[in-house]
Amino acid sequence: MIKKFNIKRQISIRFRIFIAMTFLLIIAFGGIAIVTIPQFKNQSSQYHEQRLERKKAQLKRSISYIFQETKYNINKSILDSIFSEKIFEIADVQNVDFSIYSLDGILLNTTLIDSFNNKLDASVIKELKKSKELSIIQINTIENVKYRSSYSIVLDNHSNPIWILNLPYFDDDKLNTYELKSFIIVLGQVYFFLLIIAIFFSYLISVYITKSLSEIGKKIKQTRLHKTNTKIQIKARSKEVNILVESYNKMVEKLNESVEQLSKSNKEQAWREMAKQVAHEIKNPLTPMRLSVQSFQKNFDINDSTINKKLDEFIKTLIQQIDTMSTIASAFSNFAEMPAQEGGKINIIEITRLALKIFKEKHITFNSEHKDLQVSIDRTQMIRIITNLIKNAIEACDLVEDPLIEVTIVLRNKNVLIYIKDNGVGISDDLRDKIFEPKFTTKTSGMGLGLGMVKNLVNSYSGKISFKSNTSQGTTFKILFPIYSK
């Protein structure tokens, strides 16, 4: 069964550092812009307020000169007449337009071309009288332009109120707006340049910070239970990374010790099992040999006329048991031996046909649509694989009335598939997990090394072996080898 894993893509620490530094720079730029724009507007408003106050102060100084030039006991009507003549002169000198109202709010004179306020609103006069500074400023908006109107009481030489001075003022923000735009543009250019530098440095910093972690990650990926693992030999760039490196190295030490102990234990256990199996299998032929020798010794009679015949039977029995022991030794030797992966490419069709010629059974068939399929495997080892599987199939069909063994070779997805199918007794469910174990067998004779050796050989040449079986219906073995390619 093939297990499917859904692996979520994760963001690396390096990328997170890079994004964080870039994001902080953008936030800083936005913060400066947010603070700067209101500050510019506030400064502009203060500038216009101060400018209006300066103009008002200058006008009052110019008006005060009129009182100094007149006589001390001059009445108000004469002053009104004199000021009506001087108002345009003052406006030219100060370069401003203004209006003069009586204390009752009646317009006396103005330098404004369009003036519709012939009389001041009563609320203005009331608010002006309440003011401690004898001056108020009204702010309105005309066509999206801020309009300030300053009202202040003019005092004569005796500090008596005589007129109401109205000085209009329009906030001209063109210069400030231009300066603000220029500042934002320059700031944007500077920040764009800083952003490029930040990208470069954030990349270098992220590489510097995560280099140790990347090396640790590679080492962890290379960690295996079946081999000796090496420690991480890097100079830690931080306390946290140093702790991680030390922890990993300690883990590797313990893991290597455990692997060594486990390997030693497994080897010892395997040799014990192998020794028991060899001893058990050798005892089987030794027992009849011992009985034969004892029987021959007991019944030996030199005067017996059939002594020669009995001697021949005795010798044949010993030779037969010796051959059995030799077969046992060869089987264990073949299983323990690692097959040499030599021989280059072979034609799997031709070699399979050759292996099948050994068998005389007529119920063995061979089918393939191909005449030449090249795989990389030793010729002798391939014959051993086929013959072992065919022998097992023949034995599985011993009790079947119409035995049939089919060998089929096909090409699929750049892989050669060999199917060996029989209609024998099949393999029961409780035996399927043990079928490739070295010492497992269902036969009354033999060592059970055949299928274990076959699997060992197939795996050695990058192949795979599997089987499907139904009790009383037969078994199909499937062998897969990759097609030969240079």
Q: Are 387 and 317 found together in one domain? A: no
330-354: average pLDDT: 70
Single out the residue in 306, 336, 366 at which a domain terminates: 336
116: which 2 tokens? 């519709």
List the beta strands (DSSP E) in 35-125. Answer: 99-101, 107-110
Q: Are 448 and 362 found together in one domain? A: yes
Residue 81 lies in a domain: yes
How much is the pLDDT for 111? Answer: 83
pLDDT of 1 higher than 50: no
Q: Are 246 and 171 found together in one domain? A: no
Q: Are 387 and 444 found together in one domain? A: yes
pLDDT of 292 higher than 70: no
Residue 317 CA to residue 209 CA, distance in Å, equals 79
Residue 397 CA to residue 403 CA, distance in Å, equals 6
Which of 85-89, 275-279, 444-448 ranks highest by mean pLDDT?
85-89
pLDDT of 167 higher than 70: yes
> 447 falls in which pLDDT band (50, 70, 90)?
very low
- Tell me the residue type at 217: G
Sign of the CA dihedral running 298, 302, 306, 311:
positive
Residue 266 CA to residue 278 CA, distance in Å, equals 18
Higher pLDDT, 339 or 98: 98
Alpha helices in 95-230 (DSSP H): 122-130, 174-222
> 339 falls in which pLDDT band (50, 70, 90)?
very low
Q: Are 76 and 115 found together in one domain? A: yes
Number of separate domains in the chain = 3
pLDDT of 440 higher than 50: no
Higher pLDDT, 271 or 383: 383
Number of neighbouring beta carbons within 10 Å of residue 321: 18
Name the 3-class secondary structure at 37: helix
Domain assignment of residue 97, given as a range: 13-177
- Domain CATH for 288: 1.10.287
Q: Are 359 and 332 found together in one domain? A: no
pLDDT of 77 higher than 90: no
450: which 2 tokens? 């055949």
pLDDT of 408 higher than 80: yes
Residue 396 lies in a domain: yes
Per residue in 202-214, pLDDT tens?
777 777 766 766 7
Q: Are 20 and 165 found together in one domain? A: yes
Sign of the CA dihedral running 329, 331, 332, 336:
positive
Which of 101-115, 145-159, 393-407 ranks highest by mean pLDDT?
393-407
Single out the residue in 336, 370, 392 at which a domain terminates: 336
Single out the residue in 336, 354, 381 at which a domain terminates: 336
Per residue in 475-486, pLDDT tens?
999 999 999 876
Beta bridge partners of 119: 106
416-436: average pLDDT: 87
- Residues 387 and 345 sit within 8 Å (Cβ to Cβ): no
Per residue in 251-268, pLDDT tens?
777 777 776 776 666 666
- Residues 431 and 443 sit within 8 Å (Cβ to Cβ): no
Residue 192 lies in a domain: no
Per residue in 13-60, pLDDT tens?
667 777 777 787 778 777 877 777 777 777 777 777 888 888 888 888
Q: Are 138 and 263 found together in one domain? A: no
How much is the pLDDT for 6? Answer: 44
Residue 479 CA to residue 484 CA, distance in Å, equals 15
Q: Are 58 and 118 found together in one domain? A: yes
- What is the pTM for the complete model shown? 0.38
Name the 3-class secondary structure at 447: coil
How much is the pLDDT for 446? Answer: 41
Residue 76 CA to residue 27 CA, distance in Å, equals 65
- Domain CATH for 437: 3.30.565.10
